[in-house]
Each structure stands twice: as C-alpha cells, then as structure tokens.
Amino acid sequence: MAEHMTLDAFLDQWSAGDAVRGATAATVRAVCDAGRTIAALVARGALEEAMGSAVGENAGGDTQKALDVRTHDILVEALRGAPVSRLGSEEAEDVIVLDPAAPVAVAADPLDGSSNIETNVSIGTLFGILPEAGEETFLQPGSRQLAAGFIVYGPATALVLTVGTGTHIFMMDGVGGPFVRTSADVQIPKTTKEYAINASNARHWAEPMRAYIADCLAGADGPREKNFNTRWVGSLVADVFRILVRGGVYLYPGDAREGYGSGRLRLVYECNPIAMVCEQAGGAATDGKTRILDIVPSRLHARAPLVAGSAEEVERIGRYYGDEARQSSPLFAKRGLFLS
C-alpha cells in the first residue's frame, strides 16, 4: 500500500509561508488533540462514569449530558494553546473569549449525536474555523470559513477535513496516534437512492418534504422510477460520513413542532461545517431553497433546516420547495409530483 500522508505533513504543506493559514493549521491540530482525548474517553464506554447522564440544559434548550460538558471543557483547554480568539460552542450560551489578538475563531459542537452516547453508536465533534471579526465573528456566513470538518468516534476514529482544497479523510492510527490520510479529495456520488431522515416526524413536515419522501417511498412504480433505501444513525457526523463514502442525502427540515420551525440543527457549528465539507466533496447543502454557506446567521445558536449530500438530489429537493405554491392546491395531492 502506498505511503499515506500524515495530517501534520498535509497541514505543513498547505500552510507554508502564510500567517492566517499557519494559524488555521495550528487550530486544526488543537482540535485534533482534543479529539484524541475524547476518542480515548468514548472508547471506554460505560467504564467511564455516567457519560450519558443528564446534567443540565444548553443554550438551545437541549438536555446537556455529562459527556457534552466534558467534551466542551476538553475543547476549551486544547484551544487555549492555539492562536484562537474566541470559541462559539453549542454548550455555552455566550461566546468564550480566549486570545482577542489571535487571527482565527472556532465554532464547535463538541459532542454531536448526544442521544447515542450510551448506545455504542458513532458520535463526533464538529468544527468550523472563521477569521476573527470581533463581535461579528459568528455572524459571518459559512462561506467565510477557512477550514471545517468533523471527527467521528466510531469503529475507527476518523477526521473529515477541508481547508478549501477538497475534502479529505484521515484515520487516527491507534489510540492517541497521528491522523493519517486514507482518502484524498473525496467525491460524493452525484446521484443516489438513499436518504437519511427521522421519519417519525413525518406528520409535522411541510408539504415539500412530505411530497419528496412520498415520491421516494413509491419506489420503482412511482415518479422516481427507482427503489430507495433509508439510513438514519441519528448522529449527523455518522450520517454524513456515510454520505461522503457512498452518496445519499441528509435531511432535517423545519417542521410544525414548537421550536422546530427551522429544524433542529444549528447553522454556525453544525450546518456550516457540514456544508463546506459536502461542497468541497462535489456535493451540495441547502436549507431546502438557499445555499447554507450564503445564509447570514442571526445569532450564534440560530437553527437552519439542512438538506445535504449528493448534488443532484439536493437540487431536486430544491425544486419541491420551489413548487410549494402548486403543492398547496387541493388537486396536487391527487396528481403527485412528477418532477424530473
């Protein structure tokens, strides 16, 4: 097997001679240091005391589990040693100021997939690195991210990273070991027969999402003329890792439940890193209509609907949303959606 490149060598090569890139690279290394520590904790499962026990509530109103808080603390500690001005974390209501003179900032979901902590299913850490811009730092659209990615703590601990030169996958080589690139310039297949959605919310969806899923479920006899498959891990990082490897779409639409008008996921530290990773892998990410990376966040913890993955499928779903007016017609349900 050909010699794989280490993350360090990759970052050195990319950042040589450029100060902001150098700071970004150092920050990615710090996030990975935190990731190594978290991976070791996660690998001990139930041997680690009460990781899944509820300890409070975060800024988004979600129950905070012990591991959510521990991973947040580990990340803060790791970033103190990096050239990071501030951290916007899912687990802290307010922005945490680290070194105001530093050139880059980090937005992070320290522990993604909290509902899977005790189930021995993959969970992860999501991050986006932004240029420091004072109070406005986390109100910059995702298109301004200098780097983004996530670490998945699964059967293998894997880093998915983009610094704007494609999306690359690195594996942690042994507990606490170096990250080594195993896939360079990953390409998400443009078309797919697989979607990921929490279908238990179907009765709360708006018409475009109902129509899209109904057309998928109709299979080979329906307008899509092919049979679809569902996969839903319930950890965004794991669902998107699968999509990077074999295509598909991840869907978390807005729905009619209280507080879910813009879905569940947070724009700045969940949707934006995923969107950059997907786009850099030849995929796409929208909120149904608008490109995720173009949305200007209203606040650090703002939510956004997410449709991400195979480019042609994301584009097709956009047509269902574009067709919303027609769908509200009573005749529509009888006719179905023959969108090609």
Ligand X SMILES: O=P(O)(O)OC[C@H]1O[C@](O)(COP(=O)(O)O)[C@@H](O)[C@@H]1O
Interface pick for ligand X out of 8, 48, 62, 324 (rule CB under 6 A): 62
Angle between helices 272-280 and 236-246 (to 10 degrees): 10
Is 109 one of the catalytic residues?
A: yes
Residue 239 binds Mg ion (CB under 5 A): no
> Closest CB to ligand X among 121 and 184?
121
Residue 262 binds ligand X (CB under 6 A): no
Interaction partner, residue 62 (ligand X, Mg ion, none; CB < 5-8 Å by kind) = ligand X
First and final C-alpha spacing in the chain: 43
Instruction: Show the binding pattern over residues 153-182: x = contacts Mg ion (CB under 5 A), - = does not.
Output: ------------------------------
> Closest CB to ligand X among 115 and 327?
115
Q: Site residues for ligand X, window 215-234 (CB under 6 A)?
A: 234
How is 267-336 classified by DSSP, letter by letter?
IIIIIHHHHHHHHHTT-EEESSSSBGGGPPPSSTT-B--EEEE-HHHHHHHHHHHHTHHHHTSTTHHHH-
Task: State yes or no: 298 annotated in a binding site.
Answer: no
Maximum C-alpha span of the chain: 62
- Considering the candidates 67, 75, 91, 207, report the single residue annotated as catalytic: 91
Q: Write down the least CB distance from residue 53 to Mg ion, Å.
A: 16
Residue 113 and residue 121 in contact, taking contact as beta carbons nearer than 8 Å: yes
Three-state SS sequence of 142-199: HHHCCEEEEEEECCCEEEEEECCCCEEEEEECCCCCCEEEEECCCCCCCCCCEEECCH
- Considering the candidates 270, 279, 287, 313, report the single residue annotated as catalytic: 270
Residue 109 binds Mg ion (CB under 5 A): yes
Interface ranges with ligand X (CB under 6 A): 62, 90, 109, 112-115, 198, 234-236, 264
Given the rule CB under 5 A, which residues bind Mg ion? 90, 109, 111-112
